[in-house]
Amino acid sequence: MTITVLLAEDQALLRESFRMIIDSADDMTVVGEAGDGREALRLTRALRPDVVIMDIRMPEMDGLAATNEISADPDLSGSHILILTTFEIDEYVARALRAGAGGFIGKGIAVGDLLSAIRTVASGDALLSPTATRALVSRFLAAPDGTQASDAVNEPPELDVLTGREREMVALVATGLSNDDIAARLVLSPYTVRTHVHRAMMKLDARDRAQLVVIAYQSGLVRSRAEGDRGAPSRQSDAAEGPP
């Protein structure tokens, strides 16, 4: 199955470079190009691409606003957004994840990594490495103003819809672990992990794994440790059921 890609970037030369790279892959093709956020929104609605590579700083409508519009439209749930940014760790990236983006890449990304990133986001997985996740959460997601979240945050009532095992899965997803990583850690099958993660996403109305990361930290299910621990995530609740 061919992955369809929409490029939203205001620099024509960069768009052309990305198009050449993407079209060189046997399993993907560029179906459209946009020079601003408003055009990206229009083309996403018209073309329904599997992946939108979205620059942040664009004229007319920026990438954050366009991402928010696309993510809020249930008819576009099949279009996953991959944020393109000059700085891989910055406040704009955190805001984009809150808006519903499935991941982010830097403009200096290697060819192989770009194609891998597109495949990852197209499959519905979040493109968040453990290192990137810790940095983002520690700096921006732990608290709205970018400060460290309080250690006294209680689990909000809305997480009561999750079982203990599902809460554990969400907490591990928030560290950037893949389903296979979680399965190995908990001695479960990847299918079992995928099932629990999917159920948690459905119950929390999360578009993808990236939103699960945001929910985990903003709800207090997971929190950042002290700065001296380099912002490594710490699960606040490790409750788990017996074997599924």
In tens, the pLDDT along 3-37 reads 999 999 999 999 999 999 999 999 999 999 999 99
Non-local (6+) Cβ contacts of 176 within 8 A are 128, 129, 130, 131, 132, 133, 134, 213
Kindly state the tokens that stand for 148: 């460290």
- What is the percent of the chain with per-residue pLDDT over 70, rounded to a whole number? 74
Please classify residue 200 by burial: count the beta carbons closer than 10 Å to its beta carbon, then call 0-12 exposed, 13-18 middle and 19+ buried. buried
Q: Is the pLDDT of residue 154 over 70?
A: no
- Ranges of CATH 1.10.10.10 domains, the chain: 136-235
**Which has the higher per-residue pLDDT, 234 or 23?**
23
Indicate the pLDDT class of residue 208, thresholds 50, 70 and 90: confident
Q: What token pair was written down for 86?
A: 């000059």
pLDDT tens sequence across 36-71: 999 999 999 999 999 999 998 899 899 999 999 998
DSSP assignment string, 96-111? HHHHT--EEEETT--H
CATH topology of domain 136-235: Arc Repressor Mutant, subunit A (1.10.10)
pLDDT (mean) for 205-211: 77
Parts of the chain belonging to CATH 3.40.50.2300: 3-127
Distance CA 58, CA 38 (A): 9
Q: What is the layout of strands, in order, in the sheet containing 51-55?
A: 28-34, 3-8, 51-55, 80-85, 103-106
Residue type at 159 in one-letter notation:
L
What is the fold, at CATH topology level, of the domain defined by 3-127?
Rossmann fold (3.40.50)
Q: Using alpha carbons only, give the angle 21, 38, 49 rounded to the nearest 5 degrees.
A: 45
Angle between helices 164-173 and 179-186 (to 10 degrees): 130
- At residue 138, the pLDDT reads 55
